[in-house]
């Protein structure tokens, strides 16, 4: 005979779940006690439930299998919300088991009571509360199947007097289904789209994470069409390596080559991407969009030829309809632009950039205190990171530096809050990734704002001996917000962060902490940190005035920066 809690825990362990993330207490006590007695499942107790949800979502992003987090009654459940929203918008399967007050008190405004079914209605694909023992294990089956189905979030609420209830001996174990893989798009639509590509003079590809399993087909398509390939950030870990068609990212983290590729094309072919920034997409261009989710078709730009299906299967069908073109002028032009831009960026990654020539003059303007340029840090990570490293990034400027300097070649992976855009996601996601494989290198590119928002869970890395490598771009700013203000002419306000010595804080919490202030020391300290056997926090004091220019800077943005800088000079930002 097993209890409700034991049944849930046993079923998840048999399904292959190896970690459950959360904070103990109240209605969860039967569950955490069952985990304590389960050899195949580890409980990782975090300091904030938001971390639990981010960590579970990171595991789901990396494996495609369900991640599990728990939050107890009321506030404990509420704290899960931000991380669960990230899982929802990342389309990954996550199960949240949350506590509820005893059944007889539901609806009485009992201490800590919240309506979980209402609370999670927007974030979850499925949410139910167990009120009778005979609802189990059917509700658990529904929850997990629903999470896999979209994929997305399922929330199972368990009142405090239910977890310890015994199920009948005749109860069958739960069985979880997995969704079938999508097939190729409609053959007639594929033929029409292929005919458009055949007749086009210049084609540009915009490739996203949804094409990750179709790498061979996408590269063959680019070769056949001699088409430049703009990659979404999330597509980097599938298409950075050995790709002579790649021209980097677009949007706020983009470069001039991608703007040219969009502006000059006759046909834009979007493959497996829901790229959200419509102002960067070309206007008056024929668009073909291939995506496995019909809801993604046409919601960013007008699509003339929609293709709903699996990327690999659909492109296999299409390639047989396309002939190889001779002219590579469009590809060659954009690749030259991309390589020129890359060479200019690489100069900023030289630790001695500000000591000679033009760099010395530039440094007097944008780096008068001779702080470390963030480009130097990202370039050092590119050189020393393992070929199978997992990178996480906080939302903001950390994303820019990774996009421009870190190549996701080999078996490197990248995860982040790239759809929700939350702060403070990088360390929780790194913890989740590290718990999957303690021998794999996991590197968090953290902003100082993100780090300090959930600072307490550095303790989780130390207590559970999760050897994450946390690299902090410590510029004393909310950097992306500062940039947003300045490009429209506002002086920065409210963005200054009065940080402690973050390396000293990390050492006090049980991590190996190192503070770096000398550009010449960056390379050696990054190399040493990445080979340290335990968790490390590398606190690198970087230039707060480093500017990341958009792909096509406008005159208005230039005036904005000039006006903002004048205001900042006349009036202190704080």
Helix (H, G, I), strand (E, B) or coil at 306: strand
pLDDT of 200 over the 80 cut: yes
Q: Which of these three, 338, 370, 385, is where a domain ends?
A: 338
What are the tens digits of pLDDT across the range 432-478? 999 999 999 999 999 999 999 999 999 999 999 999 999 999 999 98
Domain total in the chain: 3
79 phi and psi, to 5 degrees? -65, -20
Mean pLDDT of 229-251: 96
Looking at the structure, tell me whether residues 262 and 391 fall in a common domain. Answer: no
Q: Quote the pLDDT of residue 555.
A: 45
Residue 168 lies in a domain: no
**31 three-state secondary structure:** helix
Task: Give the three-class secondary structure for 351.
Answer: coil
Give pLDDT, residue 5.
Answer: 97
- Predicted pLDDT at 556: 53
As a whole number, mean pLDDT of residues 161-170 equals: 92
Instruction: Note whether 431 and 513 are same-domain residues.
Output: yes
Domain hosting residue 497, numbered range: 352-570
| pLDDT above 80 for 360 | no
Q: How confident is the model at residue 346 (pLDDT cuts 50, 70, 90)?
A: very high
> Could you tell me if residue 493 is inside a domain?
yes
The token pair at 473 is: 């771009």
Residue at 181 is within a domain: no
CB–CB of 502/451 below 8 Å? yes
pTM for the structure as a whole: 0.93
Residue 460, SS3? helix
pLDDT given at position 367: 82
> What kind and span of H or E run contains 9?
helix 4-15
Q: Which of 144, 182, 101 is nearest to 8 (CA)?
A: 144
Across all residues in the chain, what is the average pLDDT? Answer: 93
Please determine, for residue 548, whether its predicted confidence score (pLDDT) is greater than 80: no
Is the predicted pLDDT of residue 569 greater than 90, yes or no? no
> What pLDDT, on a 0 to 100 scale, did the predictor assign at position 551?
59
Give the pLDDT confidence score for residue 570 in this predicted structure. Answer: 45
Asked if residue 250 is part of any domain, the answer here is: yes
- Cβ pair 438, 467 in contact under 8 A: yes
Query: Based on the domain organization, do 420 and 551 belong to the same domain?
Result: yes
Highest mean pLDDT among 169-183, 273-287, 496-510: 496-510
> What is the pLDDT, as a whole number, of residue 482?
81
Please compute the mean of the pLDDT values over residues 191-196 and round it to a whole number: 98
Helix axes 479-487, 555-570, angle to 10 degrees: 110
pLDDT digits (tens, 9 = 90+) for 549-558: 555 555 455 4
- Estimate to the nearest angstrom the gap between the alpha carbon of 218 and the chain centroid: 23
Q: Measured between alpha carbons, how far is residue 480 from residues 252, 292, 417, 486, 530 in Å?
A: 10, 32, 15, 10, 27
Which has the closest alpha carbon to 84: 521, 425, 514? 425
In a domain, 165, yes or no: no
The CATH number linked to 255 is 3.40.50.1220
Claim to verify: residue 299 and residue 375 sit in the same structural domain: no
The first and second tokens of residue 77, run together, are 């459940």
pLDDT value at position 169?
87
Candidates 465, 383, 406, 455; CA nearest to 426 is: 455
Q: Are residues 191 and 243 in the same domain?
A: yes
The CATH code of the domain that includes 48 is 3.40.50.970
pLDDT surpassing 90 at residue 368? no
Distance of CA 370 to the CA centre of its chain: 31
- Considering the domain architecture, whether residues 333 and 362 belong to the same structural domain is answered as no
Contact 536, 542 (CB under 8 A): no
Residues 495 and 555 in one domain: yes
Q: Is the pLDDT of residue 500 over 80?
A: yes
407 and 324 in a common domain: no
Same domain membership, residue 126 and residue 14: yes
In this predicted model, what pLDDT tens digit does every residue of 101-110 receive, in sequence order? 999 999 999 9
- Whether 283 and 377 map to the same domain: the answer is no
Beta strands in 330-432 (DSSP E): 390-393, 413-416
Model confidence band, residue 487 (pLDDT cutoffs 50, 70, 90): confident
Q: Provide the pLDDT for residue 181.
A: 77
pLDDT number for residue 573 = 41
- Cα(186)–Cα(202) distance, rounded to whole angstroms? 25
pLDDT beyond 50 at 429: yes
- Do residue 144 and residue 194 come from a single domain? no
Does residue 487 lie in a domain region? yes
For residue 483, pLDDT beyond 90: no
């Amino acid at each position: 005979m097993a209890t409700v809690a034991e049944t849930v825990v046993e079923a998840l362990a048999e399904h292959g779940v190896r970690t459950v993330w959360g904070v103990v207490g109240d209605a969860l006590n039967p569950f955490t006690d069952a985990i304590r007695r389960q050899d195949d499942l580890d409980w990782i107790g975090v300091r904030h439930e938001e971390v639990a949800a981010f960590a579970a979502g990171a595991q789901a992003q990396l494996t495609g299998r369900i991640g599990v987090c728990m939050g107890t009654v009321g506030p404990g459940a509420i704290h899960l919300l931000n991380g669960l929203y990230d899982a929802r918008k990342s389309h990954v399967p996550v199960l949240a088991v949350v506590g509820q007050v005893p059944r007889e008190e539901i609806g009485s405004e009992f201490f800590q009571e919240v309506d979980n079914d209402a609370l999670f209605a927007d974030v979850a694909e499925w949410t139910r509360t167990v009120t009778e023992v005979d609802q189990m294990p059917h509700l658990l089956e529904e929850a997990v199947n629903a999470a896999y189905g979209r994929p997305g979030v399922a929330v199972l609420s368990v009142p405090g007097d239910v977890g310890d209830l015994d199920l009948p001996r005749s109860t069958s174990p739960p069985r979880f289904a997995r969704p079938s893989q999508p097939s190729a798009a409609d053959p007639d639509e594929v033929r029409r789209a292929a005919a458009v590509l055949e007749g086009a003079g210049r084609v540009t590809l915009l490739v996203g994470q949804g094409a990750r399993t179709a790498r061979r087909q996408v590269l063959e398509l680019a070769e056949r069409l001699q088409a430049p390939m703009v990659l979404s950030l999330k597509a980097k870990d599938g298409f950075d390596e050995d790709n002579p068609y790649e021209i980097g990212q677009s949007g706020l983290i983009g470069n001039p080559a991608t703007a040219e590729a969009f502006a000059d094309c006759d046909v834009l072919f979007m493959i497996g991407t829901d790229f959200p920034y419509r102002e960067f997409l070309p206007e008056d261009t024929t668009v073909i969009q291939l995506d496995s989710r019909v809801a993604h078709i046409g919601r960013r730009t007008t699509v003339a030829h929609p293709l709903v299906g699996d990327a690999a299967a659909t492109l296999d069908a299409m390639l047989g309809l396309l002939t190889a073109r001779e002219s590579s002028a469009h590809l060659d032009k954009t690749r030259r632009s991309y390589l020129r831009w890359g060479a200019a960026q690489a100069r900023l990654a030289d630790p001695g950039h500000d000591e000679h020539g033009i760099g010395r003059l530039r440094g007097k303007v944008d780096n008068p205190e001779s702080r470390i340029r963030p480009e130097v840090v990202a370039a050092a990570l590119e050189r020393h990171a393992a070929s199978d490293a997992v990178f996480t990034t906080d939302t903001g400027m950390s994303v820019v530096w990774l996009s421009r300097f870190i190549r996701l070649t080999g078996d490197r992976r990248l995860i982040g809050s790239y759809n929700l855009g939350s702060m403070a996601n990088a360390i929780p996601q790194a913890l989740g990734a590290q718990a999957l494989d303690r021998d794999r290198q996991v590197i968090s590119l953290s902003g100082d704002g993100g780090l300090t928002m959930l600072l307490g869970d550095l303790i989780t890395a130390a207590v559970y001996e999760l050897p994450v490598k946390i690299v902090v771009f410590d510029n004393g700013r909310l950097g992306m917000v500062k940039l947003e203000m300045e490009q429209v002419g506002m002086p920065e306000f409210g963005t200054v962060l009065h940080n402690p010595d973050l390396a000293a804080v990390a050492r006090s919490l049980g991590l190996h902490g190192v503070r770096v202030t000398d550009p010449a020391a960056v390379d050696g300290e990054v190399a040493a940190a990445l080979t340290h056997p335990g968790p490390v926090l590398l606190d690198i004091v970087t230039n707060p005035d480093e500017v990341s220019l958009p792909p096509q800077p406008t005159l208005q943005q230039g005036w904005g920066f000039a006006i903002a800088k004048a205001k900042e000079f006349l009036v202190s930002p704080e």
